[in-house]
Amino acid sequence: MFETLRYESRRRVRGTAIMTAAISLYAGFTVWYFSALEGVDYEQLVQEAPATVKQAFGIESLTTIEGFLSAQVFNFVWLLGLGLYFAYAAGALIADDIESERMDLLLSFPISRTQLLAETFASLLVPLLAVNIVTGGVIYLLVGAIGQTIAPAHLVVAHVFSLPYLLVCAAIGVVASVLAERAAIAKRAAVGIVFALYLVESVVGSNTAFEWVQYISPTHYYKPTQILVHGSFNVTDPLVLLVTFVVLLALGQFLFQRRDI
C-alpha cells in the first residue's frame, strides 16, 4: 500500500530541498537587511504608499521585525510565491500523466482512481511541511541572532495557518489538472486562477463598492500581518479554508472518476 505516495514523495525531495534552501536564504537576507537598515524611519514611506499596495503586501509597520517580515517574506513569498507554486505543481499531477500516456500504465495496476489521486496529491505535503518547518526555524534563530525578538507562538501560528491556504491553492491546481487536456494548460490555468484571486483580495476587495468580492478569495482568510504584528487571528478562517480544500479536492475526485482517459 501507498507505493504511489512513497514514489511521488521521493521524486519531490530534491526540488523541496532546493526550494526550502532558497526561501530560507531569502528570509535570512531579509532579517539581515532589517538589521542593516536599523534606525531608518519607514513610517512616512508607509503613509505615502497607495492603499492597494499596502493591502497587497501587508505593509503596516516596517519599523518592527514582525512588520518587516510580514511585508517582505510572508505576504510576498507565502501568499503569492508559494500559492502560485503549489497551484502549478498540482496542475501537473494528473494532466501530465495523461498527456505522457503514463496514466494508462498506472491504472493497469490494482489501484483505484480515488487512491491514485489522493496519494499523488499527498506527496505535495513533502514541500508543504518542509518549507514551513525549516524556514520558520531559520527565521526564529536569525531574528534572535541580530538581537531582535519575535513571539514564537505568533510565528508558529503564521506558519500553521498558511497550510490550509496553500492546500486550497493546490486543490485549485488539482481541479485544473483533471479538466485540462494538456499539462501546460492545466498549470497555466491554475496559476492564473490563484493570481486572479490574489488580485481580487488585494485590489478589488479594497474598493468598498465591491467589498463582498474579497470573500471568494482564499487570501482573505490568511492574514500573516495580523498574526505577526498584532498577534490576532480568527480560528474560523483556517476552518473556512479547510472546508474549501475538501470541497475542491472532492470535486477533483468526482471529475477524475468520470474523465475518459
Residues spanned by the domain of 85: 3-257
What's the whole-number mean pLDDT along residues 190-197? 94
Q: What is the pLDDT of residues 38-62, one digit of tens each?
A: 655 555 555 555 455 545 455 556 6
What's the whole-number mean pLDDT along residues 219-240? 92
Report the number of distinct structural domains present in the chain: 1
Q: Among 10, 4, 69, which residue's Cα sits nearest to residue 35?
A: 69
What's the whole-number mean pLDDT along residues 77-93? 95
Question: What is the length of the chain?
Answer: 261
Q: What is the pLDDT of residues 144-180, one digit of tens each?
A: 998 898 999 999 999 999 999 999 999 999 999 999 8
Distance CA 77, CA 47 (A): 23
| SS3 (DSSP) at 231 | coil
Place of cell 468580492: 213
